[in-house]
Amino acid sequence: MDFRTEFKPLTVQPQEIEGLSFNMIDSEFGEHAFTEQQYKIVQRVVHASADFELGHSMLFHDDAIKAGINAIRNGEQVYADVQMILSGVSKGRIEKHGGSVNVYISDQDVMEEAKRLNTTRAIISVRKAIKQFDGGIFAIGNAPTALLELIRLIKEGEAKPSLVIGLPVGFVSAPESKEELAKLDVPFITNIGRKGGSTITVAALNAISLLAEKD
């Protein structure tokens, strides 16, 4: 290969680049057992990560997509564990139905309560969220402790989320938290293993909101 050749950037529109990317994903993804709607979410997860292994590791509760679409259309609130999700999500598609995306991790009362109880702000922010709204979508991409706390509250009957998007990334407790989520009979979107993160959670949430627009 001649590396002296002058680089020529693509001169196509963003929509064309996205279309080309999705075509490449489709051609390389291989066989799978996802439904058509599930694959729409997987496709955007791979698009956000360029990671086919992550895409194949995705898990869906049978009612997850329907529950997420209904939650958005009904104007239910969205809880996000970190600010990065708020920054990345397409809020307009949620707000047009009366919902909003809420992040409590840096709230003064959350920080004070976490210090008082000697626990994490992620745990306290989940507790605050379930007091702020009934149901809703919980989008967790960073803190396994937030997901584990939500799971505990669900098991104890204190939290009844419409959908849990649980895709925290990490080595400590992240795989285990997702395994525990997959055992629950609540609508969930998660994956197997250490991979995940805020950008992946944003991709899944945005895919759900797009399906709410189209279907």
The residues annotated with a catalytic role in the active site are 47
**Exposure of 23 by Cβ count < 10 A (0-12 exposed, 13-18 middle, 19+ buried)?**
exposed
Measured torsion, CA atoms of residues 100, 106, 110, 115, in degrees rounded to the nearest 10: 160
Where are the extended beta strands (E) located within the chain? Answer: 58-60, 78-80, 101-103, 137-140, 163-166, 188-191
Residues 6+ apart with CB under 8 A from 105: 81, 82, 83, 121, 122, 125
Strands laid side by side in the 101-103 sheet: 58-60, 188-191, 163-166, 137-140, 78-80, 101-103
Nearest to 48 by CA among 201, 194, 190: 201
